[in-house]
Copies of this chain bind each other. A is one copy, B any other.
Amino acid sequence: MPRKIEVCLSPALIDLYAIENSIVVVIDILRATSSMVYGIDNGAKAIIPVAQVEDCLTYSGKGYLLAAERNGEVVEGYDFGNSPFSYTAEKVAGKTVVLTTTNGTKALHLARKASKVVIGSFLNLTALCNWLNTQENNVLLLCAGWKDQFNLEDTIFAGAVLHNIRTQFTDFDDAGVAAEDLSLLAKDNLRAYIGKSAHSHRMLALNIEEDINFCLQVDICTAIPVLEGENLVAMTAAD
């Protein structure tokens, strides 16, 4: 059966894709989806992505960990933001995290009407690809970008996924072709490659170099977070 894989380069373009019967992989490498993968891999019971900072507040005082990031920084008064170092087993095992971020949780909300929504990052690249290979639906790789703008790191990850599983697909879009070729250019030195743009200089200004290096590690996790109702939980064999 013909199977299509496409890359959506910005959440602002999501309406161009018919996702009702597709698997959508949400990608926000720096740092939301990397932290989600790491947190679920470290035994977080669930992560609840919410769109607005105010939405987090409704979960206050009920035993949840509250995490809020805007413009790359932890919102004042919150337990933590989206640094992966806040999602260690010590901090999140057995707990539920309520999380809002500038780009990643927005992309997640836009993807909700898909057949299935899963979370991708370099941390779980192979596990994700192996699972996608066992599926039959079309796939949309949704880059969260930065405030609706294209970004290199999400696109390169999308290209790496496509490159890994391309033999399962017959139809590709132009964005997929571009993403794959960029991922091949970048693969030998991811950190240097994503350092080529002004966007990365902004990242450096946030003093999150350790976070960036952490998020570019490949295959240190096997969990695949999947959206069930309002919650991201670890995918099980039944999924």
Contacts and interface: CB of A to CB of B under 8 A. Distances in A.
Interface in A168-188: 171-178, 181-182, 185
Q: How many copies does the complex hold?
A: 2
Interface in A133-177: 146-152, 155, 171-177
A199 interface: yes
B9 A9 contact: yes
Given A9-B9, A13-B10, A175 B149 contact: yes
Given A12-B13, A16-B147, A152 B178 contact: yes
Interface string A191-206: 0000011110000000
A163 to B, nearest CB: 13
Contacts of A177: 152, 196-197
Given A13-B148, A16-B148, A199 B181 contact: no
Contact of A150 (B151, B175, B198): B175
11 contacts: A12-B12, A13-B13, A13-B149, A16-B147, A149-B175, A150-B173, A150-B175, A151-B174, A174-B198, A178-B182, A182-B182
